[in-house]
Structure 1
């Protein structure tokens, strides 16, 4: 009887070690320039989702932090639309870090190029002209001596790396509106989402019961993920960087974000993509003064 119990104990231990090995977190350390900070992605609609835990470093922080990610179409995603990287890169380079080379662009100058024949070229140029006219950002056509630049490419979705990466970095533009292109360019300039601010609970309420059960981690503030950052200016409901009220709503299709009244009121709307708010302009110019 004792031998049988001992045999079961050994089998249980082996099975436990096997499961632990499957669920082992990817430990990622910095040693490779090719790894970049998060990519903002707004059209992760296809593919099945699988949740994975990793320990990594995001931009704006030099500390390891534990993060719950979704595996979507071979991409590791946080906040539902911020891509950490490709799963195969993590598997091959488990000791490589995702860490920024420098978030802001010197003097606000952002060289760019648009892929030849891009169907949204006119709208992209309209967004560029708009940002150049309204803010201190200076998006200029890439010259032969420009090493660091953004490149607009065709895609099914709309996406952008957050902050300056060094060398070529892409902004994916598919079925994107004018305001969404502005939104993506601002990500490339170094700006995150408004509702991830540390003071957001004074202005909005997250209705956790209405959020899809496996998407609740997407509503964490950046400080709760261990990221270092700065809240610029006052909280802005009307920011082009704010999510709308229905983000990640469960099947009952109720709001996941409510406006606190005050400071908001019955007319307050979030998630607009018409263009920059007055505070957007003020805060961009404060960062790039």
Structure 2
């Protein structure tokens, strides 16, 4: 059963609740955790999966909240908010939407042809369901996403940053359908690039999940901070356990027991990595103001009363789903005129499978 509504748009966010003054020791411990999350600890994803086999590959990737690669500015603002000294209206990630709804990318040449096709298939699926477009990097592009295959996991930069230049998306090499190369996980990382965090961090998550702090590894609680109502745009889309952006039950467990449980019946879907939901697509379309996105109904009466959202889905006419939204052709003005956002195919030159 899916309950209520939430999405984290990276227009900006702050730790939920009134400012809390923490001890210097607590603040320095949090700072150390964030710094560790931004460096390579030498562990391969396979090793982390052995330590916590019940969590997903992206939860086990060693970054902030598992798979978010923080910038210097993002880390510093998180520290300020944790310490209770950050301004309540200080945006963490302003203007993080990709210009003209177009993600510029380059795929590293370390992947096999099958792996490249899997990456490009995820891009094609995003293009099919949203007005986001992808375009290969040219020599004119300073800001772009470099897709790499380091063995330490699946993770990505959150949002677009004009001064960053190269943005990172890492998909640890594996056979398609395994590890980081599960299609919904690749799309999960693209959604970070596009500008989204995880649903479990939203301000009203405690209405829908129980956090079991006692079962977490030391420092694991940092990954469950909430974000404030006046900083998070929920896009008027329901909170859903089945979202591809939702944690499962066992993230950062110390003892193999759950660290988060659904309050309502989730039909076993919380944290699933089998598919991307219609509401995941709707969040993206609304965040990027795609055509007709805000006209797609989500039955706010069901949401406000906290009823089962799967009932709302059953009532939704087939013609109202986001897959039917018209697609918008996007041009990139700052590059030569012939460089249009491409319609991604799943065929690209790459090294032969080994």
TM-score by length of 1: 0.66
How far apart are 1:114 and its partner, in Å?
Answer: 0.8
Alignment partners' CA distance in 1, 2:67 and 2:284: 22
Structure 1: stretches of 5+ with no match in the other structure: 1-57, 91-97
Alignment of 1:122-133 (within 5 A): 122-133=117-128
Change (3 A) 1:275 1:141: farther
What does residue 240 of structure 2 align with? 236
Q: Which has the higher contact order (CA 8 A, sep 6+)?
A: 2
Alignment partners' CA distance in 2, 1:248 and 1:80: 9
Change (3 A) 1:103 1:85: closer
Alignment of 1:112-261 (within 5 A): 112-119=105-112, 120-156=115-151, 157-166=153-162, 167-175=165-173, 176=180, 177-223=182-228, 228-232=231-235, 233-251=237-255, 253-261=256-264
What does residue 17 of structure 1 align with? none
Q: What is the RMSD computed on CA atoms of the aligned residues?
A: 3.2
Decide whether the 8 Å contact of 2:38 with 2:69 is kept in 1.
no
Compare CA radii of gyration and give the structure with the larger one: 1
How far apart are 1:154 and its partner, in Å?
Answer: 1.9
Q: For residues 69-98 of structure 1, what are the alpha-carbon distances to aligned partners after superposition, in whole Å with 9 as ceiling and x for unaligned?
A: 414377395435434358xx99xxxxxxx9
Q: Which stretches of structure 1, 4 residues or longer, exceed 6 Å deviation after superposition? A: 62-66
Change (3 A) 1:217 1:104: same
Alignment partners' CA distance in 2, 1:180 and 1:238: 13
Decide whether the 8 Å contact of 2:13 with 2:93 is kept in 1.
no
Change (3 A) 1:101 1:150: farther
Decide whether the 8 Å contact of 1:127 with 1:178 is kept in 2.
yes
Change (3 A) 1:62 1:134: closer
What does residue 79 of structure 1 align with? 65
Q: Normalized per residue, which structure has more strand?
A: 1
What does residue 315 of structure 2 align with? none
How far apart are 1:190 and its partner, in Å?
Answer: 0.4
1:280 aligns with 2:273: no
How far apart are 1:158 and its partner, in Å?
Answer: 1.1
TM-score by length of 2: 0.54
How far apart are 1:278 and its partner, in Å?
Answer: 1.0
Change (3 A) 1:59 1:72: farther
1:209 partner SS: helix
Decide whether the 8 Å contact of 1:210 with 1:256 is kept in 2.
yes
Change (3 A) 1:75 1:189: same
- Equivalent pairs counted in the alignment come to 217
Change (3 A) 1:78 1:59: farther
Structure 2: stretches of 5+ with no match in the other structure: 1-9, 41-62, 77-90, 174-179, 291-354
1:222 partner SS: coil
Decide whether the 8 Å contact of 1:80 with 1:215 is kept in 2.
no
